[in-house]
Homo-oligomer: A and B are copies of this chain.
Amino acid sequence: MEFPIETRRHSAAHVLAAAVQRLFTHAKFGVGPVVDNGFYYDIDIGRPVTTEDLDAISSEVKRIVKENPEFVREEMGIDEAISLFESLGQTYKVELLHDLKNRGTTKLSEEESADIDAEKPDTVSVYRMGPFVDLCRGPHVEKASQIGAWKLTKVSGAYWRGKVENPQMQRMYGFAFATDAELREHLLMLAEAEKRDHRKLGSQLDLFVFSDLVGPGLPLWTPRGTVIRNVLDEYVWSLRKAKGYERVEIPHITKKDLYERSGHWEKFKDELFKIETREGHIFAMKPMNCPHHTQIFARKMHSYREMPQRYANTTMVYRDEQTGELQGLSRVRCITQDDAHVFCRRDQVQEEMLKIWEIIETFYGTVGFGDLQVRLSFHDPKKIENYLGTSEVWMSAEDALRNLAKEKGAEATEALGEAAFYGPKIDFIAKDSIGRTWQVATIQLDMNMPDRFDLYCVNEQGEHERVVMIHAAIMGSIERFLSILIEHYAGAFPLWLAPEQVRILPVADRHIEFAQSLLAEMQTADLRTTIDDATDSVGKKIRNAEKSKIPVMLVVGDTEMEGGKLTVRRYGKEDQEMALQSDLIQALQEEIRTRK
């Protein structure tokens, strides 16, 4: 029988718990949900889990799978379940059951309620597997051997229910897949991902740095990293300029009044960096740019002839993220957005969104993400109170997005509850060179912000006509995008993106003068070129250049000085080529121009 992968993973969590219970009879169990590629279980054995423990648990897991016990479901009333888990000493389960009884599932977190069926709040189900019994909504595989291929991976500390005042438990992670081949592939991918880790490459290639004095989540960009940022940003700007965008600029702070009006104050209070001025006013650092941009649009009356207004602005936004959630460039406190907002009439929405979609296709095609998946992120109709605006406005906006995807012939999936709080989005999902998927660009339609800020144009009849806004970041967070791009290219950027495009390697001191005149010519041709005039051997110089993943290496020795041709090595290629200097420059310029 084919079991869904979630079922397999959740069953694996039970087997893990059963194995722990055999080894640590007094173990108390928290929650054990399914996560990406596997599962975890929060378990309290009264002390940290050691590597030896983990080996023993792995062996015990194998034993259980071999024994192949059945998963047996049983339903009972909440009070009966409470008695059962009390008798087993499972105090965490008892706490969850009491909470459920007193307050319903709404007060439980997503992980905590995973084991409870919201449809039958007075009844709970438990699953038994041999002597092990667990509070669980199911479903499960029938027998332990049906889970598939799995592997325990790591343990980390986790507070019960995520609160620092609660006892610390041990969170044991595992991967689980239907087949050995899938597991093997995943492990291989992880090994490759680790080699490509952008934090490691960022330091090795000297792209960015964190400083203890500046603080976590606040990357500083070196000259090399800044080149990549600027080249990407200028590329996006060139695509936008061709579609009629104009650039604007805004301060990074504002009185809180702006966010009270926009709704961000209420919605993002916790994540806003707040400032009290010496005069006692409350300011905030911007977490988004749209409210500022509305104030540029609202500075004057716009005739319908001037619509749309398209504002582009690469600028930083700030989020008061918790230290524990920060991660390399993937999650930072200061995010550079290549942001843009289009203010347009309703009948211009489709055309403007198409323009953005074209920019996204061109841009992502160029950086090697040709095949984007499309997701329509809509509101959750069951939780309309979490969003700005009425159901009608949402339905109409979502219809517009659906039609657009249809017109583009995109196979779009729809995701309820994934919208921004002010409007629905089209999200684009890229698959990187080792098969991981990442949400990248997004186009958001916003019919609410223009209402809040009373934004209008004067139409053909001389009336005030409400406009709509489209939010359209291409890279989104440049920091996060670079974390993806660095790993996608494993740091070996194509020529047009490489911070150092050409390195000249003189063989001996007597070649340095020639190398320097070559350097000057390459720089005049706007090729980012350096010279390695250290006293190392040419072999060492080549190895250093390879380590820095420089796309083009020019070895300069007697032959090159006398022969009129240059020896050209390309990164990652064994063969060298000979080329006339002028031909080489022209070829490299063309390669950069076309962003190959």
Taking Cβ atoms with an 8 Å cutoff, the residues of A that contact B are: 206, 209, 211-215, 218-223, 225-227, 229-230, 246-255, 257-258, 261, 270-271, 273-279, 281, 283, 285, 291-292, 295-296, 298-300, 305, 311, 316, 318, 320, 322-323, 333-334, 336, 533-534
In the A-B complex, the 9 residue pairs with the closest CB atoms: A223-B246, A251-B334, A215-B255, A211-B295, A221-B249, A209-B299, A213-B258, A218-B251, A214-B254
Chain B residues near A299: list those with CB within 8 A. 206, 209, 211, 220, 222
- Give the CA-CA distance A258 to B216 in the complex, in Å: 13
Q: Is the pair B295, A253 in contact by a Cβ cutoff of 8 Å?
A: no
Q: Is the pair B277, A275 in contact by a Cβ cutoff of 8 Å?
A: no
Pick the contact of A275: B247, B275, B279, B298 (CB < 8 A): B275
Min CB gap A438→B, angstroms? 23
Min CB gap A184→B, angstroms? 38
This chain's copy number in the assembly: 2
Pick the contact of A283: B249, B273, B295, B322 (CB < 8 A): B273
Chain B residues near A534: list those with CB within 8 A. 305
Q: Is the pair A253, B296 in contact by a Cβ cutoff of 8 Å?
A: no
Pick the contact of A214: B218, B295, B533 (CB < 8 A): B295
- Give the CA-CA distance A103 to B530 in the complex, in Å: 64
Chain B residues near A336: list those with CB within 8 A. 249
Chain B residues near A213: list those with CB within 8 A. 254-255, 257-258, 261, 291, 295
Chain B residues near A333: list those with CB within 8 A. 251, 253
Q: Is the pair B250, A252 in contact by a Cβ cutoff of 8 Å?
A: no
Chain B residues near A334: list those with CB within 8 A. 251-253
For A257, give the chain B residue with the smallest CB separation: B213
Q: Is the pair B295, A255 in contact by a Cβ cutoff of 8 Å?
A: no
For A298, give the chain B residue with the smallest CB separation: B211
Chain B residues near A255: list those with CB within 8 A. 213-215
Min CB gap A131→B, angstroms? 44
Chain B residues near A214: list those with CB within 8 A. 251, 254-255, 258, 292, 295
